[in-house]
Amino acid sequence: MAECFNSNFKLISRLNRIVLYILVGLISIFLSPNFTLGATSKPFISKEMVATLITAENKISSNTRTISAGLSITLEKGWKTYWRSPGQVGLPPEIDWEDSTNVLHTKFYWPTPERFQEFEIENYGYSNKVTFPINIVLKNPGKPLSLIANTSILVCKDVCLPKSFILKLSLSEVEVIDRLSRIELSSSLTTIPIDGPNSQFKLNSVFIDPNKKSLFVEIQSLKNINEVHVFPETQTDVIFDAPINTFDQDKKLVTIQLPIFDYKKINNPIALTISNGKISSTYKNLKIVENIVHSQSNILNGNGFAIIIFFAFVGGLILNVMPCVFPVLLIKINSVINSQSYSKIKTRRKFISSALGIITFMWILNGLLFLIQVMGGKIGWGVQFQSPVFLSFIIVILIIFSINMLGGLKIILPQKFNTKLYQLSNSNGFIGDFLSGCFAALLATPCSAPFLGSAVAFALTMGGVQSLIIFSFIGLGLASPYLVVATAPRLVMFFPRPGKWMKTVQNLIGILIIISACWFSWLLISVESFQSLLVLLIALIFAILSLKFIKINSLKYVFFVTFLILSVTNSTIITSQNGWTTNSDSSWEVFDTSRKKILIDSEKVVFIDITADWCLTCKANKLLVLDSSYVKTALSKENVVKMRGDWTQKNSKILSFLKENGRFGIPFNIVYGPSAKSGIMLPEILTSEVVINALKNAE
C-alpha cells in the first residue's frame, strides 16, 4: 500500500510540475514589458474596506471569448469577510451581473480561507486582502463588454455590517493600462484550491462516529505536516465546532476531529477543502461512513477501541501510585490490616465489595457527565473540584473518617450510635467496604495519569456505550489491587498479624488523613473563601455535638442532619470571595486565546501550561520540571513566551481550549511556534527532555 501511495504521489508530482511550468511561462509572458496589461474599476471605499473590479485583459480583440476578472477586497485591520461556507455565522459575498452587457455566464472562484474563532463561534473567511478570481464568458465574442457588478458583502469585527455597492468596468477595442491588476489576478490564482489530489498530502478517509457527534478526517503526507486546516461543506446547514488535530509521532499522519453541533442534518455526500499552508485541495462528493476507530492517540489504527480500553485500564492502575491518591492507599492498608481477622471467604467478599464500589462510582460519574453534556453543559475530568459544595462534602467525610481512625467518635458519639456504625461497616452486605471503594475512586478524580487523558478524551467525545465501557476499565484498573487480593486471599498472610501496633498505625493514618483534609480545606479557600471553611467547621462541630448532648432522638437527628447539610452547602450561603490566583510568578503571562494567536502569528514560541490548585499532578510537574533550572533557562529565552491558565475555578475559555485540543482534563501543556502552528501536545507527566525537545521542534 505504501509503494502504491508513493507511486501515486510521484505521478501527481510529475503532472503538477508540468502544469507549474506552463503557468510560470504564461505569467512571465503576461508580465513582460511588451505584453498587454489589465484594467481596474473605480473603487468602492468605506471605513471598513475597499473593493475594486479588475481584469487581466486591457481590451477586447476580435478573438476574445473569455475575460479573466476578479473582485479585489482590502479590509481594514481586524475586519473580515466570509468564504462560500462561512461556518456558524456569516454570509459569503454575492455578485449580480444582470445589468451587464455581453455576458453569457460567469464562474466565481474561492481562495483557500482562514479559520476564525471569536466568542466561541467558528467561522471561515478572509482578512487583510483577498481577490476572488472570476471567469467571464462573452455572449458575443470580440464585441465590447460592460461589467456592472451589483455586489453584496458582509464584513465583521466587533459588529457585522452588510455592504452593497456597484462596480463598473468597460472593455472595448481601445486599450486600458493597469500593470497591477494582472499581477494581482495571477497571484490570486495560486490561492485557489486544486480539485482533487495533490503532490503533498493524501486524503485517507472521512468517517463519522456511530453517535454522529464528530466527523473525522484522516490525512497522510510524504513530509511532516506542521499546519493543516479542513473546511467542510455539506448539502444541509450543518454547524461544526473547532477542530481537534491529532498527529502521529513523525507528523506524517493527522486525524482531524470536527465536533458536530447538529448531527441530525448531516447527509452524504460532502465536500472538504484541505490546506497544509502551502497547497490546498478540494475533495467533492465524499461519502461518509460510520467508524469508531480514530486517532485520539498516536498509535490508534485498526484496533483503536481495544487500545483505548487498554489505555483506560493502565491509566486507572497508575492512579493507585499517584500522589493525589495517597489517602486511597491508606484506606487500602487499613482494610488489609483489619481483614486478617476474617476467613478467606469473608476477605474475598470484602475486597470484591470495595472493587465494586470503585467501579460503581465510575459508572455514576460517567452517567453524570453524560447528563451534563446532554443538558448543554461543559464537562471535564476533575471539574467537580471547582465546586465549593463538592469540596465541602469531601472535607466533611475526611474529617469524620480521621476522627473515627483516631477513636474520637467513640468518645463523642453515644454508645448506641457507635454500635450502629460498627454493625453497618461489618454487616454481611459489606456496605462499609463498598462505600470505602466509592470514596477511593472519588479521591482519585483530581489526578491525570499517563494514558488516562487519551482514554477520558475518547470516552467524553464518543459518549454512549463506548464511554461506559471506557469508564468501567478505568475503574477496573483502579480496583486491581482489591481484585488481586480477592483472587488470592492468602496474600493477606504476608502482612503483619494484628496486635497493639495496629492502634499506632490507625493513629498515623488518622493524622495523615487530617493532612489531606487540610489540603482540601486550602482548596476550598482558593475556590471560594475562608468564611466558607469557617462556617463548614462550625456547622460540623455542632452536628457532631448534637448527637452527644441532645437526649431526644427525633430532635437529635433533626439538628444533626440540619448542621451537616449546612456544613456541606455553606458555600451557597456565603458570598464567594473568588479565592486567589495561583499565577503569582510575574514571568508567566495569564492565558489568553487572542493573545496566544497574536504571539504565534509574530513567530514567537508559546509554551502554555494549564493548571489548578486541586491538580497534584500539575504541582508535581511545576516543582520537578517547569521550575527546574534547566527548563527555566530554556523558557526564559527571548523568543519564548510562557502562558499559564488557572483552572482552579470555572473558566469556560480554558475548558473550550482543552476541548479544541482533544483533552478534558489537566495537566495540559502545549507548545506553539513557527514550525508548530497547530501545536505540540505534551504528555500528562512532564520531563525536562520532553519540554526542551518540544521547544526546539517548535522554533
Query: Which amino acid would we find at residue 162?
Result: P
Task: Tell me, yes or no, whether 220 lies in a domain.
Answer: yes
Instruction: Say whether pLDDT at 82 is over 90.
Output: yes
Q: Is 338 exposed, middle or buried (0-12, 13-18, 19+ CB in 10 A)?
A: middle
Choosing from 168, 192, 216, the residue where a domain stops is 192
Q: Is 695 exposed, middle or buried (0-12, 13-18, 19+ CB in 10 A)?
A: buried
Q: Is 239 exposed, middle or buried (0-12, 13-18, 19+ CB in 10 A)?
A: middle
Q: Terminal CA-to-CA distance of the chain, rounded, Å?
A: 34
Are 230 and 145 part of one and the same domain? Answer: no
Closest among 140, 207, 182, 450 to 320, alpha carbons compared: 450
Task: Tell me, yes or no, whether 691 lies in a domain.
Answer: yes
Q: d(Cα 496, Cα 176) in Å, to the nearest integer? A: 100
Quickly state the pLDDT bin for 125 (edges 50, 70, 90): very high
Quickly state the pLDDT bin for 334 (edges 50, 70, 90): low
Quickly state the pLDDT bin for 103 (edges 50, 70, 90): very high
Are 80 and 215 part of one and the same domain? Answer: no
Choosing from 243, 260, 290, the residue where a domain stops is 290
Bridge-based pairing of strands 244-247 and 289-290 is unpaired
- Percent of the chain exceeding pLDDT 90 equals 14
CATH number at residue 180: 2.60.40.1250
Q: d(Cα 177, Cα 181) in Å, to the nearest integer? A: 9
Q: d(Cα 52, Cα 512) in Å, to the nearest integer? A: 74
CATH number at residue 636: 3.40.30.10
- The arithmetic mean of pLDDT across residues 57-82, rounded, is 89
Helix (H) or strand (E) holding 425: helix 415-425
Q: What is the pLDDT of residue 100?
A: 93
Q: d(Cα 412, Cα 553) in Å, to the nearest integer? A: 16
Q: d(Cα 129, Cα 506) in Å, to the nearest integer? A: 72
Closest among 32, 36, 66, 38 to 53, alpha carbons compared: 38
DSSP state of 650: -
DSSP state of 180: H
Buried-exposed string 11-44: b where 16+ CB fall within 10 A, e elsewhere: ebeeebeeeeeeeeeebeebeeeeeebbbbbeeb
For residue 164, give the 3-state DSSP assignment.
strand
Q: What is the pLDDT of residue 146?
A: 92
Are 53 and 180 part of one and the same domain? Answer: yes
Q: What is the pLDDT of residue 265?
A: 62
Would you tell me how many other CB atoms lie within 10 Å of the CB of residue 620? Answer: 17
668-673, strands of its sheet edge to edge:
589-590, 640-646, 605-611, 668-673, 676-681
pLDDT digits (tens, 9 = 90+) for 126-170: 999 999 999 999 999 888 999 999 999 999 988 889 999 999 998
pLDDT digits (tens, 9 = 90+) for 481-509: 888 877 877 766 666 555 566 667 667 77
- The arithmetic mean of pLDDT across residues 648-654, rounded, is 78
Greater model confidence, 112 or 302 = 112
Domain membership of residue 379 as a residue range: 304-502
Q: What is the pLDDT of residue 211?
A: 64
Q: d(Cα 587, Cα 565) in Å, to the nearest integer? A: 43
Are 454 and 314 part of one and the same domain? Answer: yes
For residue 340, give the 3-state DSSP assignment.
coil
Task: Tell me, yes or no, whether 468 lies in a domain.
Answer: yes
Are 315 and 416 part of one and the same domain? Answer: yes
Q: Is 69 exposed, middle or buried (0-12, 13-18, 19+ CB in 10 A)?
A: buried
Q: d(Cα 307, Cα 164) in Å, to the nearest integer? A: 55
Closest among 272, 521, 481 to 388, alpha carbons compared: 521
65, 137 in Cβ contact below 8 A?
Answer: yes
Detail the DSSP E strand segments found in 141-213.
145-156, 160-171, 194-195, 201-208
Are 186 and 212 part of one and the same domain? Answer: no
Are 373 and 484 part of one and the same domain? Answer: yes
Bridge-based pairing of strands 160-171 and 270-275 is unpaired
With a CB cutoff of 8 Å and minimum separation 6, the contacts of 260 are: 208, 212, 213, 214, 215, 238, 239, 240, 241, 266
Domain count, the chain: 4
Which residue in this structure is represented by grid cell 504565534?
600
- The arithmetic mean of pLDDT across residues 322-326, rounded, is 58
What grid cell was written down for 508?
498515623
Q: d(Cα 189, Cα 107) in Å, to the nearest integer? A: 13
For residue 329, give the 3-state DSSP assignment.
helix
Task: Tell me, yes or no, whether 566 lies in a domain.
Answer: no
- The arithmetic mean of pLDDT across residues 615-627, rounded, is 82
Closest among 610, 628, 597, 611 to 691, alpha carbons compared: 628
pLDDT digits (tens, 9 = 90+) for 528-545: 777 778 888 888 888 777
Quickly state the pLDDT bin for 51 (edges 50, 70, 90): very high
Query: Which amino acid would we find at residue 324?
Result: C
Are 184 and 257 part of one and the same domain? Answer: no
Closest among 593, 607, 689, 694 to 642, alpha carbons compared: 607
Instruction: Say whether pLDDT at 428 is over 70.
Output: no
- The arithmetic mean of pLDDT across residues 383-393, rounded, is 73
Quickly state the pLDDT bin for 687 (edges 50, 70, 90): confident
Are 415 and 318 part of one and the same domain? Answer: yes
Greater model confidence, 614 or 57 = 57
Task: Tell me, yes or no, whether 164 lies in a domain.
Answer: yes
Are 261 and 207 part of one and the same domain? Answer: yes
For residue 293, give the 3-state DSSP assignment.
coil
Would you tell me how many other CB atoms lie within 10 Å of the CB of residue 305? Answer: 17
Q: What is the DSSP string of 535-581?
A: HHHHHHHHHHHHHHH--SHHHHHHHHHHHHHHHHSGGGTSPP-----
Q: How many residues does the chain have?
A: 699
Choosing from 502, 525, 553, the residue where a domain stops is 502
Task: Tell me, yes or no, whether 555 lies in a domain.
Answer: no
Closest among 219, 216, 217, 206 to 462, alpha carbons compared: 216
Instruction: Say whether pLDDT at 569 is over 50.
Output: yes
Quickly state the pLDDT bin for 70 (edges 50, 70, 90): very high
Are 47 and 186 part of one and the same domain? Answer: yes
Q: What is the DSSP string of 354-393?
A: HHHHHHHHHHHHHHHHHHHHHTT----TTGGGG-HHHHHH
Task: Tell me, yes or no, whether 640 lies in a domain.
Answer: yes
